[in-house]
């Protein structure tokens, strides 16, 4: 999964990606079984369509938008649209991968590109389990993060460092997987072994990495009332629209049945 960051490299192309995707899905007579879900598997189906319909200009523009958005959901990155140069995407710089031209579309091979990018991401995460690719938000496609709040940025950095120190003394596997939530829940229920803010941080990070999304913090504003005011929370990338407050999920554990944190993940992904 990727971390959505604010758009920096704007262009007419980037602004047009959302309408192109809508046209592709609604008006280009895609096969009924085409999985329009931005998954790596969907690129296999797209490869076949490009081979059959690559000379159809309207389809080709939509396919180009879909391919780029799908690949960036694996390796992060941004659109590159510069006059006089082919349209391309550049993956997260930490992956050290070359840019990928998408104009013209390759007749086949997008699924193979996705596999290579996923391999590069896996290698990077093996060196730094806390890392995740960053993708610049595409207007209308990704939910752009709210402006960063200094307090949240400072808190996240501090909890990440503190968790690394704490987990170094433990024997459990802390890989931000769904399975690791069972260990977190067991330790948090026992009380005292893990500081509540570290449990909060790990739960939020796991929700984001398994289900996409970002951390947010809504400061308390005089004269405005919102249930999220004063809380750190996580929100999935579109089309997900749920909100989870990790601190409350941890605090509620004594009153909930076993498997509560896994259920929170299921709710977050719906």
CB atoms within 10 A of CB 37: 10
First to last CA, the chain: 16
CB 95 within 8 A of CB 34: no
Query: Which pLDDT value is given to residue 197?
Result: 96
Query: Per-residue pLDDT averaged across 91-114, rounded?
Result: 90
- The residue range of the domain holding 48 is 3-136
CA distance 196 to 46: 46
Domain boundary among 101, 136, 171: 136
Query: Which pLDDT value is given to residue 269?
Result: 87
pLDDT at 223 over 60: no
When divided into structural domains, the chain yields a total of 2
CA distance 256 to 263: 11
CB 73 within 8 A of CB 211: no
- pTM score, whole prediction: 0.61
Query: Per-residue pLDDT averaged across 10-37, rounded?
Result: 93
Mean pLDDT of the chain: 90
CA distance 58 to 206: 39
Residues 200 and 90 in one domain: no
Query: Per-residue pLDDT averaged across 109-114, rounded?
Result: 94
Residues 55 and 16 in one domain: yes
* Residue whose tokens read 């909100």: 243
Question: Which residue did the predictor score with more confidence, 104 or 121?
Answer: 121
Phi, psi of 231, rounded to the nearest 5 degrees: -110, 145
Residues 158 and 34 in one domain: no
When pLDDT is cut at 50, 70 and 90, the band that residue 91 belongs to is very high
For the chain, what percent of residues have pLDDT higher than 90?
69
């Amino acid at each position: 999964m990727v971390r959505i960051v604010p758009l920096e490299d704007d262009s007419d192309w980037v602004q047009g990606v959302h309408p192109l995707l809508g046209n592709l899905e609604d008006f280009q007579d895609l096969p009924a079984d085409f999985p329009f879900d931005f998954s790596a598997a969907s690129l296999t189906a797209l490869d076949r369509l490009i081979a059959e319909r690559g000379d159809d200009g309207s389809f080709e523009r939509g396919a180009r938008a879909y391919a780029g958005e799908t690949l960036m959901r694996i390796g992060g990155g941004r659109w590159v649209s510069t006059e006089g140069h082919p349209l391309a995407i550049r993956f997260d710089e930490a992956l050290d991968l070359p840019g990928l031209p998408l104009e013209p579309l390759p007749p086949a091979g997008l699924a193979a590109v996705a596999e290579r990018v996923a391999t590069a991401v896996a290698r990077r995460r093996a060196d730094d389990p806390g890392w995740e690719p960053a993708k610049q938000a595409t207007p209308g496609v990704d939910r752009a993060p709210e402006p960063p709040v200094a307090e949240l940025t400072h808190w996240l950095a501090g909890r990440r460092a503190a968790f690394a120190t704490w987990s170094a003394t433990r024997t459990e596997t802390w890989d931000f997987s769904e399975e690791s939530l069972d260990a977190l829940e067991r330790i948090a229920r026992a009380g005292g072994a893990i500081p509540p803010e570290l449990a909060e941080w790990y739960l939020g990070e796991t929700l984001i990495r398994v289900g996409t999304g970002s951390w947010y913090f809504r400061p308390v504003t005089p004269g405005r009332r919102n249930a999220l005011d004063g809380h750190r929370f996580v929100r999935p990338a579109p089309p997900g629209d749920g909100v989870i407050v990790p601190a409350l999920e941890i605090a509620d554990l004594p009153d909930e049945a076993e498997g509560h944190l896994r259920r929170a993940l299921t709710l977050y992904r719906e």
